[in-house]
Amino acid sequence: MKLFLFRGGIHPEGRKELSVDKAIERAPLPEVLHIPLQQHVGVPAEPVVEAGEYVRKGQLIGRANGVISASVHAPTSGEIIGVGGHTAPHPSGLPVRTITLRPDGKEEWDILPPPLDAMNETSQGIARRVEWAGIVGMGGAAFPSAVKLNLQEKYPLHTLIINGAECEPYLTSDDRLMRERAREVIDGVRIMHHALKVKRAIIAVETNKPRALSELRIAATPFHGIDVLGVPAQYPMGSERHLVHVVTGRETPSKGLTADIGVVVHNVGTAYAVHEAVRHGRPLISRIVTISGRAVREPRNIEALIGTPISHLIAFCGGLTEEPDKLMIGGPMMGQPLPSTDVPVIKGCNAVLALTAEETARGKAMPCIRCGVCVDVCPCGLVPLDMAALIRKEDLSAADGIGLNDCLSCGSCSYACPSHIPLVQYFNYAKGRMKIVEVEKQQQEVHKRLSEQRAVRLEREMQKKKEMLAQRKAEAEARRKAKEAAAGETSSDAPATAAAGTPTPTPPLKPVNEDAVRKTGHGPAEPPVEDISERASGS
């Protein structure tokens, strides 16, 4: 099969040998599990359990909230000890809504839905099951997978690509999964292939994983339309857009989706999770995590329950040999620094790295010498040095004009820069900043509309007051006239007319008053108000 390589990219030292020969192991149950309600892109799930409740393994504890959301299930049986905030596995270290569960060690399963006869099931049926299982993209982006299994209705799809590239250094979790559970992965691919109704499915794996390739090839042999493809090891091969380019030769449009060119990409971990959900009715409650880095005594590949504290996994690996220079979640290129080891494993977490100073090799940032290395390595064809210079000057719209939003933050430029300029950090800042500016702009529109509406309302209230005044005047006039007329008549008639005349002015006034109070919340109730405030300021 012809490959269409992309320009740029880098070839970092793999350092996968630290954990590549370690078979997948299960860690013992931790004391507590912290299960965040947002482990995915989109809206957080809504908790459906309360503190003190007993839950069984696989029981729904957080319900998906809308289409772009994902359900959360209990990773083991035990007692819910709280629904509150806990530090998120996110560089900000901010708290996120989290369910805390104390395992009872019984591992008692909830009643699971029956296995599906996948090959005779409709696309919707499979997507519904995947949605139920709370499956999200396991490669790190954590986008709800069910949405991506329903694309065949909106886009003319022809190819499903399964991403087994695992191009980041250190990571071996996908490699181990493909080696040890190739049949299950292939079955997941078949299910997705069937659900998406595409012509072919291609599993792309970097050639630096020969064992995984051969295992997958053996497992895929009996099935028509499923191919296993070796792609060269080049970072960032695992980027969705780049992998699609390498396999199909087509470029995904800027601001577009790969579905625009008829391709859907899923990760191998997702394929495995789909197999588990469809064939066994098991929700996504665990994942394989590589614990690596030279500061870890004994790097391992662990099948960890979602919510397991990272400190527990590190302890299972024999602890740390030294204070790590950097603690990360995900790969060293695109991963995120961790605020502490107290954070839990989430669905999109493929690795935890504890790196020594020798490994991180930080350098002091020096001025840009315009050597152009970053331009050479940028796999998106951008000019990082110019973008960074513009961002430093806060000219974000100009940076956007030369392709900031096409940058995938792969970090190749920062890696290659001889001046150690934190280029990708500039781009991450600018992207975040621009999003906020956009939100603020929308907010300002709302503010503008509100203040205009307020002006109109004040005008209307003024008008109403005027009308009321006029009405009162007219009534007073009428009363006066009636009195005069009564004075002209016999004296015995006068009180009767006056009595009949007085009640009339009050009824029309009252509803007007009530209306004003209801509409504004603070209408004509002036007298008591002034009274209170005076008392308050006097005290």
Partner 1 sequence: MTEALLSLTVLGVTLGALLGLAARYLSVKESPLKAELTDMMPGTNCGQCGQPGCAAAADALIGGQAEVTLCPPGGRALAAELAKKLGIVVDLSAMEEHEPLIAFVNEDRCIGCTRCLRECPTDALVGGPKSMHTVIRPLCTGCEACVEVCPTDCIDMLPVEKTLRNWYWPKPASNQQSGNIAA
Element (H, E) at 431: helix 423-488
Check binding of 436 to partner 1 (CB under 8 A): yes
279 close to 188: Cβ distance less than 8 angstroms: no
Q: Which of 166, 246, 426, 516 binds partner 1 (CB under 8 A)?
A: 426
Q: Which is nearer to partner 1, 68 or 486 (CB)?
A: 68
Q: Which is nearer to partner 1, 118 or 408 (CB)?
A: 408
Check binding of 402 to partner 1 (CB under 8 A): no
Q: Which is nearer to partner 1, 38 or 290 (CB)?
A: 38
Give the three-class secondary structure for 193.
helix
CA distance 140 to 428: 17
299 close to 18: Cβ distance less than 8 angstroms: yes
CA distance 328 to 350: 11
- CA 460, 466, 467, 472 dihedral sign is positive
Check binding of 47 to partner 1 (CB under 8 A): no
Check binding of 285 to partner 1 (CB under 8 A): no
Check binding of 393 to partner 1 (CB under 8 A): yes
CA distance 253 to 262: 12
Encoding tokens for residue 228? 């296993």
Q: Within its chain, how far is the Cα of 415 from the centroid?
A: 27
Q: How far is the CB of 142 from partner 1 (least distance, A)?
A: 13
Q: How far is the CB of 536 from partner 1 (least distance, A)?
A: 5
Q: Which of 122, 397, 463, 513 binds partner 1 (CB under 8 A)?
A: 397
Check binding of 441 to partner 1 (CB under 8 A): yes
Q: How many CB atoms lie within 10 A of CB 224?
A: 7
Check binding of 460 to partner 1 (CB under 8 A): no
- Strands 263-267 and 159-164: what pairing? parallel
Query: Which phi-psi region, left, alpha or beta, contains residue 129 (left: φ > 0; alpha: ψ -120 to 50)?
Result: alpha
Residue 5 sits at φ, ψ, to 5 deg, of: -70, 155
Q: Which of 38, 150, 286, 308 binds partner 1 (CB under 8 A)?
A: 38
Q: Which stretch binds partner 1 (CB under 8 A): 99-107, 304-312, 316-324, 332-340?
A: 332-340
Check binding of 415 to partner 1 (CB under 8 A): yes
End-to-end CA separation in angstroms for the chain: 87
Check binding of 447 to partner 1 (CB under 8 A): yes
Give the three-class secondary structure for 53.
coil
Binding mask 509-528 for partner 1 (x = CB under 8 A): ------------xx--x--x
CA distance 462 to 454: 12
Nearest to 32 by CA among 84, 89, 105: 105
Q: Which stretch binds partner 1 (CB under 8 A): 131-139, 378-386, 449-457, 494-502?
A: 449-457
Q: Within its chain, how far is the Cα of 65 from the centroid?
A: 12
Nearest to 338 by CA among 246, 349, 459: 349
Q: Which is nearer to partner 1, 435 or 472 (CB)?
A: 435
Q: How far is the CB of 213 from partner 1 (least distance, A)?
A: 25
Give me the residue label for tokens 């990409």.
265
Check binding of 440 to partner 1 (CB under 8 A): yes
Helical axes 182-196 vs 173-180, angle rounded to 10°: 90
Size of the site for partner 1 (CB under 8 A): 68
Q: Which of 261, 408, 417, 516 binds partner 1 (CB under 8 A)?
A: 417
Check binding of 363 to partner 1 (CB under 8 A): yes
Query: What DSSP designation does 167 have?
Result: -
Q: Which is nearer to partner 1, 435 or 481 (CB)?
A: 435
Check binding of 221 to partner 1 (CB under 8 A): no
Q: Which stretch binds partner 1 (CB under 8 A): 185-193, 241-249, 415-423, 497-505?
A: 415-423
Looking only at residues 223 through 282 of this chain, which bind partner 1 when binding is defined by CB under 8 A? none
Looking only at residues 120 through 179 of this chain, which bind partner 1 when binding is defined by CB under 8 A? 169
Residue type, 291: I
Q: Which is nearer to partner 1, 366 or 474 (CB)?
A: 366
Residues near partner 1 (CB under 8 A): 12-13, 38, 88, 90-92, 94, 96, 169, 326, 332-333, 337, 355, 359-365, 391-395, 397, 411, 414-415, 417, 420-422, 424-426, 428-429, 431-433, 435-437, 439-441, 443-444, 446-448, 450-454, 521-522, 525, 528-529, 532-533, 536-537
